Structure 1
Amino acid sequence: MVHPYAVAGFLVALLPLIATPGASLALLVRQVTEGGRGRAVPVVLGTVTGLYVHAALATAGLSALVMHSSQAFTAVKLAGAAYLVGLGVWTWRSAVSPASPVSPMSPALSRPHRRLPTFSGSPYLQALLANVLNPKAASIYLTLMPQFVTPGEPLGGQILTLATAHALLVALWLLGWTVLVGRAAHALRSPRFKELGAKVTAVVLIALGIRSATV
């Protein structure tokens, strides 16, 4: 078992990393702005699932292979960067695609509204992939977490405990933002602000992707 002081120290070390805005926060703000607080749930769940994926890979030793192989690390980094840039481009396109004006007497009203195809599935899948394809998230479990693991104790249980603490902290952070954004929902849901918010989210995602590819 992990000592409570070790868990507390791990969480304190994670705070600066969690507080740094990333893809999960950008996706959450977009979803809450468009559909209310309930839309934050799949983003939080997707992010948390991604953390457990990294924990499982670290336990299996697969993450270590990626981190110690420059080719594998570069491949994962570029895949994650491409995903974020693609998601950002799709978000921008969905923001700038105006709805076609339709006359009240037009027969088009009887047809279903045409929507842009969803990029990479649901918000849950978007958040999951954004986390899983982030090599920096994997590095947490390979560089930071070992400092809080007790030698000689079963590794799987310790990683699971620390990953659960990590997931709870991330969930609380994202839910706190959900409350803040939700309180301003009446202003955030105006068409002009929704378009601006989508564009800002797109720019953030593209910038994160470019940064991930070049750092």
Structure 2
Amino acid sequence: MADPRAVAAFLVALLPLIATPGASLALLLRQVAEHGRRRAAPVVLGTVTGLAVHAALAAAGLARLTAHHPGALAAVRWAGGAYLIGLAVLTWRSADRPPGARRPHRTGPVPVQALLANVLNPKAASVYLTLVPQFLDPGRPLPGQVLTLAAAHAALLTAWLLAWTALLGRAAPRPGPHRRTTRATAAVLLALGLHALR
């Protein structure tokens, strides 16, 4: 288990990264705007599962792998960018559909979308490749420390997404705001994808 002071410092370092709008918030915005607050839970579940994947890879030594093979990180960056661009295109195309209208899940169920958006997100990967190692104590077992930091990360991110859900859920879905919100979400996803491909 990580030292409580290390966990607190890790959360302070994480806060600016979490506060920066990303793929998880964009997906949450879209789901809550279209379907209401009940759709926040699948987004949070998929996002937290994605964090668990990153934590497991970090504990297994992915940081060491990418240090010796820079192409591994580039592959993650390109795969994540391509996925986010594809999701942006599908999101933009859905803007003219009425809120709540049934549509085929071309990108998979919401938890899967959130999971992939997180797992393939270079920003999320970089947290576990570059930030987490700075808060690890070499004298303690690595897996327990990574698990503790990941749990703290998941709790902070969940609180952040639920706070946004409370704000977004107050507005009833209407065609005009729905269209603007969906297209704004698509623009954010596209920008994130293009940034990942740079």
Which residue number corresponds to residue 111 of structure 2?
A: 124
| CA distance in 1: counterparts of 2:48 and 2:165, whole angstroms | 15
Which residue number corresponds to residue 102 of structure 1?
A: none
| CA distance in 2: counterparts of 1:195 and 1:63, whole angstroms | 41
Which residue number corresponds to residue 160 of structure 2?
A: 173
Identity of aligned residues (%): 64
Which residue number corresponds to residue 33 of structure 2?
A: 33
Structure 2 unaligned spans of 5+ = none
Q: Which moved more, 1:11-20 or 1:69-78?
A: 69-78
Which residue number corresponds to residue 190 of structure 1?
A: 174
| CA distance in 2: counterparts of 1:38 and 1:140, whole angstroms | 29
Aligned-pair CA distance for 1:134: 1.6
Residue 128 of structure 1 aligns to a residue whose secondary structure is helix
Residue 21 of structure 2 aligns to a residue whose secondary structure is coil
Aligned-pair CA distance for 1:138: 1.9
Q: CA RMSD in A?
A: 1.8
| CA distance in 2: counterparts of 1:194 and 1:200, whole angstroms | 10
Structure 1 unaligned spans of 5+ = 99-113
Normalised TM-score (structure 2): 0.93
- Aligned residue-pair number: 197
Residue 21 of structure 1 aligns to a residue whose secondary structure is coil
Displaced runs of 4+ in structure 1, greater than 3 A? none
Which aligned pairs between 1:73-92 and structure 2 lie closer than 5 A? Answer: 73-92=73-92
Q: Is the 8 A contact 2:88 2:185 kept in 1?
A: yes
Which residue number corresponds to residue 203 of structure 1?
A: 187
Q: Greater CA radius of gyration, 1 or 2?
A: 1
| CA distance in 1: counterparts of 2:28 and 2:64, whole angstroms | 30
Residue 5 of structure 1 aligns to a residue whose secondary structure is helix
Q: Are positions 1:54 and 2:54 aligned together?
A: yes
